[in-house]
Structure 1
Amino acid sequence: MNEIPASRRNHAEVTATLRGWIEAGRWQPQEALPPERALAVELACSRETLRRALHTLSAEGQIWRHQGKGTFLGPGAADRTLPLQVLIESASTHDLIEARLVFEPALAAAAALAAKDSDISRMRELATATGTAANWRDYERLDDAFHRSIAQASANALLIGLYTNLVAMRGRARWQRHHDAVYRKAQKLEYATAQRALHLAIVEAIAARDQTAAHRAMTEHLTAIRRLLREAEDGLRSGRA
């Protein structure tokens, strides 16, 4: 197989294309990328240019490389020290929902102690609105606002900051594609109605100042989302979603 002339595409172009493929979910987390020779041909660049692009993405934590084994999507070994934002940017939807399951029930419990009456009114308003969203984009906006309102109600700047960073992935294409599939697969109105009930259960637990119930209600809500995301992911992989 002949080498592609170096003048075909430069480092910046190749790096941007690879980032786009990663963002679009072309490879799953920890999946091996194709061999360099095949990638260079597909990208119409030299292998030297490709290696520079891969080095850039590796430095960002988007991929990791193992001598003799290949290049893989996502951060490498757990003991590598990477900036929080890099970890978030390279996280899968599975990583995000698992992290939310650890963090958000505790955040709801904190809100049960600190929430003001005005905070609870705002949560209840948003929870109710999620059940009547006209379309997926409206639902996603309202759902995001609902969960943010719980973080705000904790009145803890550090917890709010950690939550804001954790859910930054919600705006990325991979999460949007999966959540859209969930919304469509669950028949839209039925999905929104079911999530409203789960949202309201969280609000009522917080309003009752019941930390245990708030933790449990948030866990039930996010566990349901995790199950639906897994089903949607299976559908996307099989081409049925």
Structure 2
Amino acid sequence: MRTKRETAKAQLWRVLEERAPASGDRLPPERVLKDLVGCSRETLRTALAALEAEGEVWRHVGQGTFRGRAPLGRPVKDTLLLEATTSADLMDARRLLEPQIAAAAADRATPDELGVLRARLEDGRTARDRAACERADDAFHQSIAHVARNPVLIALLRHFSSARCRAVWQREWDRTYRRIGVDEFTKVHSDQHARVVDAIAAGDAPAAHHAMAEHLEAVSIDMGVLDLERQRP
């Protein structure tokens, strides 16, 4: 039989999946969480501490509790930048940077790292809801930065990840996801991811660059932000 703390932790996990499905999402405040979980604030804090120890959430005094592991060395002022980031700006930055990262990964990937990328690709194909799709997509793109083995690029992709979860992006992505649905993501987007991985596995940097650029252009079109980028002065 579950203890009260175990029950609270399990219920808190369900709330996370519904209210803060992706890394960087902000959780509701404790006064709201305790009612959603159905426990006292003391029991809630015990459950939060357990999830924080597992790297599932992190807390910042004065800002709140967030999904995922605490980012290392990120100043508070970055939060203001992320909140002000538009979807068009974010996709513009991704389309400028991520094809270059994919090209670098093609030059540097090891067999073990290719195995990780293929596992991330499979996670995307088997995702069955919005939260799983978002996590799989985020993990795939961040994994490519890790294959490039440049800590600055890894940090930038982590920064993009936070912006994806906490800026206007989420509202746009939610609308896009509802429109295209899980099947579009797991088939079309995963096929695009597969072309990136195949190019990296072949050690073909220009092909990896091209495949990533095509994928991000398709995402921009799906989200309706490509025209916004082109219209900016």
Q: Is the 8 A contact 2:124 2:190 kept in 1?
A: yes
- Aligned partner of 1:157 among 148, 151, 155: 151
Structure 2 Cα separation of the partners of residues 187 and 87 of structure 1 = 30
* Equivalent of residue 137 in structure 1, options 131, 134, 150: 131
Structure 1 Cα separation of the partners of residues 181 and 140 of structure 2: 21
Task: After TM superposition, give the deviation of residue 170 of structure 1 in Å.
Answer: 1.4
Distance 2:153 2:90 in 1: 17
Question: Which runs of no fewer than 5 residues in structure 1 stay unpaired?
Answer: 1-82, 235-241
- SS of the aligned residue for 2:88 comes to helix
Could you list the structure 1 runs, at least 4 aligned residues long, displaced by more than 2 angstroms after superposition. 83-89
Contact 2:86/2:167 (<8 A) preserved: no
TM-score with structure 2 length normalisation? 0.60
Question: Residues 37-186 of structure 1: matches in 2 within 5 Å?
Answer: 86-172=80-166, 174-186=168-180
For the aligned residues, what is the CA RMSD?
2.2
Number of corresponding residues: 152
Match of 1:100, SS state, is helix
Unmatched tracts of structure 2, length 5 or more:
1-76, 229-233
Which has more radius of gyration?
1
Q: Is the 8 A contact 2:107 2:205 kept in 1?
A: yes
Distance 2:89 2:202 in 1: 31
Secondary structure of the 2:91 match is: helix
Greater percentage in helix: 2
Q: Which TM-score applies when normalising by structure 1? A: 0.59
In structure 2, distance between residues paired with 1:200 and 1:189: 16
Matches within 5 A, 1:2-13: none
Aligned-pair distance for 1:162? 2.1
**Residue in structure 2 matched with residue 224 of structure 1 by the alignment:** 218
- Which of 208, 215, 219 pairs up with 1:214? 208
Q: CA deviation at 1:165?
A: 1.8
CA drift at 1:182: 1.2
CA contact under 8 A between 1:128 and 1:200: conserved in structure 2? no
Sequence identity (%)? 38
Question: Distance between the aligned counterparts of 1:168 and 1:159, measured in 2?
Answer: 14
One-letter code aligned to 2:128? A
Asked if 2 retains the 8 angstrom alpha-carbon contact of 1:85 and 1:165, the reply is: no
